Amino acid sequence: MAEENLDIHDIEHALLSGKVARIEKDDPRGTKYVVEGVAVDGQTPVGVVGRFTSAGRYLIITVYETTGAEV
């Protein structure tokens, strides 16, 4: 997040405004969901990779600024 100049508000906005772009089932630790949305500024494209825990929570694995073509 820090390398991309993103903060928690950007991540939250991307998750709430975005959509599931990909579902990756090839990880032995569990299915990963890639959500793509935009940061609070409404312009910066953000990708969030995570998986659901056994408690039903979405565990964020990594966050990055996308190239814009993916959103």
Q: What percent of the chain is modeled with pLDDT above 70? A: 90
Q: How confident is the model at residue 71 (pLDDT cuts 50, 70, 90)?
A: very low
pLDDT for 4: 73
Q: How confident is the model at residue 68 (pLDDT cuts 50, 70, 90)?
A: low
pLDDT digits (tens, 9 = 90+) for 10-61: 999 999 999 999 999 999 999 999 999 999 999 999 999 999 999 999 999 9
Cβ-contact 66, 36 below 8 angstroms: yes
